[in-house]
């Protein structure tokens, strides 16, 4: 299916565990992003990537790791999950951020217990 | 630091009304501004993208305007329908063409049949 897909849709994990959220897009968009959405904070950028093998920090990168070995995939790893990382995570992509809007995935609801 | 505010936070209108959603930002040095729609439990859908050099953009019943000097954008929805019920978010991209969108808190719209 064409588009941007995130998996899993829901995830419950324990404090201290490593967890990886997956993001896959079929358009070969250059730019990909990870946001988290929390009540009271809105959407905040965690990491972004301008191309394969190029990543950069956003507003709230601490505790997260990203990689982008292939253009279509942009996984987000929580190295040692904490309760404060309970959130809804959204992946997004764009072919050119100066000319086009962003396309968002449906999100992953992560609960850390 | 850029701050984006959306007022009102919630709005309820009868079907058929024309309505205006507001977005204000503190730093007028923006590259572009986007309006998104978010349905409950879903990702964001890009509605309109306005470049800093543009005054407005239109898509169907939606019209977005931008007054960069005053730090304001409005989203006009004509002849509202129950299917328009959703949360509407605006986001600005910084003038230095950085990749960190700053989102407003959103306006939750309910259109009653």
* B68-106 confidence digits (pLDDT tens): 999 999 999 999 999 999 999 999 988 775 677 899 999
Option in A56, A98, A102 nearest B97 (CB): A98
- DSSP at A16: T
Distance CA A21, CA A6 (A): 7
Phi, psi of B83 (to 5 degrees): -65, -10
A-to-B residue pairs, Cβ atoms closer than 8 angstroms:
52
Mean pLDDT of chain A: 93
Q: Does B94 touch chain A (CB under 8 A)?
A: no
Q: Which of B9, B5, B13 is nearest to B112 (CA)?
A: B13
- What's the confidence (pLDDT) of residue B109? 97
* B35-55 confidence digits (pLDDT tens): 999 998 888 999 999 999 999
- What's the confidence (pLDDT) of residue B16? 97
CB contact under 8 A, B46 and A50: no
CB contact under 8 A, A50 and B99: yes
Distance CA A26, CA B63 (A): 30
- What's the confidence (pLDDT) of residue A2? 64
Closest-CA distance, A69 to chain B, in angstroms, reads 20
CB contact under 8 A, A101 and B46: yes
How do B56-59 and B10-14 pair as beta strands?
A: unpaired
Q: For tokens 């299916």, what's the residue? A: A1
Contact residues on chain B for A106, CB-CB shorter than 8 A:
42-43
- What's the confidence (pLDDT) of residue A1? 58
- What's the confidence (pLDDT) of residue B85? 97
Distance CA A33, CA A67 (A): 11
Contact residues on chain A for B41, CB-CB shorter than 8 A:
107
Q: Is residue A25 very low, low, confident or very high in pLDDT (cuts 50, 70, 90)? A: very high
Mutate to test the interface with B, among A97, A99, A100 (most CBs of B within 10 A): A97
């Amino acid at each position: 299916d064409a588009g941007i897909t995130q998996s899993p849709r829901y995830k419950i994990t324990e404090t201290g565990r490593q967890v990886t959220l997956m993001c896959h897009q079929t358009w070969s968009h250059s730019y990909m992003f990870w946001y988290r959405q929390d009540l009271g904070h809105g959407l905040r950028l965690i990491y972004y990537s301008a191309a394969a093998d190029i990543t950069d920090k956003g507003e709230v990168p601490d505790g997260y790791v990203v990689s982008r070995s292939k253009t279509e995939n942009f996984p987000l790893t929580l190295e040692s999950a904490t309760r404060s990382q309970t959130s809804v995570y959204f992946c997004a992509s764009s072919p050119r951020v100066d000319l086009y809007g962003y396309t968002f995935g449906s999100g992953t609801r992560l609960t850390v217990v | 630091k850029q701050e984006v505010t959306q007022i009102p936070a919630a709005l309820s209108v009868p079907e058929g009304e024309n309505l205006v959603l507001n977005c204000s930002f503190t730093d007028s040095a923006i590259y572009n501004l986007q309006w998104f729609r978010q349905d409950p439990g879903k990702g964001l859908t890009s509605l309109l993208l306005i470049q800093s050099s543009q005054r407005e953009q239109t898509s169907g019943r939606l019209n977005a305007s931008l007054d960069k000097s005053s730090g304001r954008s409005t989203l006009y929805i004509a002849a509202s329908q129950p299917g328009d019920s959703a949360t509407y978010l605006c986001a600005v991209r910084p003038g230095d063409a950085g990749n960190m969108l700053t989102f407003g808190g959103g306006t939750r719209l309910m259109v009653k049949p």
